Copies of this chain bind each other. A is one copy, B any other.
């Protein structure tokens, strides 16, 4: 399947960067081994590298080689990985498993996991800054501000806080869950798309299209994920089916039912496709097929 191969190609670029250049960066800087170990344990545990792939594809679609924006794209994986480590902590979702193996705090201890997450988040911004001067400083700084906003208190962290506020609570509406997910998962996915376009110095209307694509893809992705938590198999999920329900989480299927959730996921995927319909080339084709592929997993 072409889209899976293309995704794997982008993912391999990001994974190479994280393993080789980022690994060397940590060692040359003088990071204690006791910190490098839990950072790399979680960072190199696999995963689809979706966020870097989106950043690379948007840059490529707007005429900038993926190689040029690679540090910035990989930084999204650093942020994503830190968020998984902290979300798994006993005080948060208390997950013992992540991607089919012990979560970071289970493997290394809680203090180590907190610090590994803190370090990954901090390094993300240092890595972003490395994209200059290959990309002009002004564009790098604009993209960095976008990423910080998406990852921060009104984005991903704020979404995680709302998720905890809503868990186990009655009367939470579908609109509230959608808004929470748009922050918790959607904001960083959207920012990966926007930053790819910003780093490629795309026209403002193309940056807007990247934002629309990212927001729709993020929603499609999250709804599909919620559906898979109900219908999926444990091998794909890397954790027991029904974990969200067991925790009393309010999700799309729990509030709207499976059929309605599938409809919503498809509609979001088509909105994403429409946002990049005016572009030619492999990267644009990848982005369109990716949006549809994301929801077929849960169809």
Contact = CB atoms under 8 A, between A and B. Distances in A.
A16 interface: no
A245 interface: no
Contact of A26 (B92, B132, B142, B153): B153
A160 interface: yes
B126 A152 contact: yes
Please report whether the interface of chain A is mostly helix, strand, loop or mixed according to DSSP.
helix
Contacts of A121: 118, 121-122
A3 interface: no
A241 interface: no
Interface string A144-158: 110011011110011
A168 B165 CA distance: 38
Nearest to A161: B35
Interface in A27-48: 29-32, 34-36, 39
A20 B162 CA distance: 24
Contact of A126 (B114, B119, B148): B148
A152 B123 contact: yes
Interface in A104-120: 109-112, 114-115, 117-119
A13 interface: no
A58 interface: no
B126 A26 contact: no
Given A129-B144, A137-B138, A141-B132, A115 B154 contact: no
Interface residues of A, number: 51
A140 interface: yes
A145 B126 contact: yes
A112 B30 CA distance: 31
Contact of A122 (B35, B92, B123, B148): B148
A89 interface: yes
Nearest to A105: B91
A161 B112 contact: yes
A158 B111 contact: no
Contacts of A145: 126, 129-130
Given A114-B91, A144-B144, A148-B123, A30 B137 contact: no
Contacts of A39: 153
A80 B295 CA distance: 42
B122 A151 contact: yes
Given A31-B158, A141-B132, A158-B32, A111 B164 contact: yes
A286 interface: no
Interface of A: 26, 29-32, 34-36, 39, 82, 86, 89, 91-92, 109-112, 114-115, 117-119, 121-123, 125-126, 129-130, 132, 137-138, 140-142, 144-145, 148-149, 151-154, 157-158, 160-162, 164-165
5 contacts: A86-B114, A122-B151, A122-B152, A126-B149, A140-B141
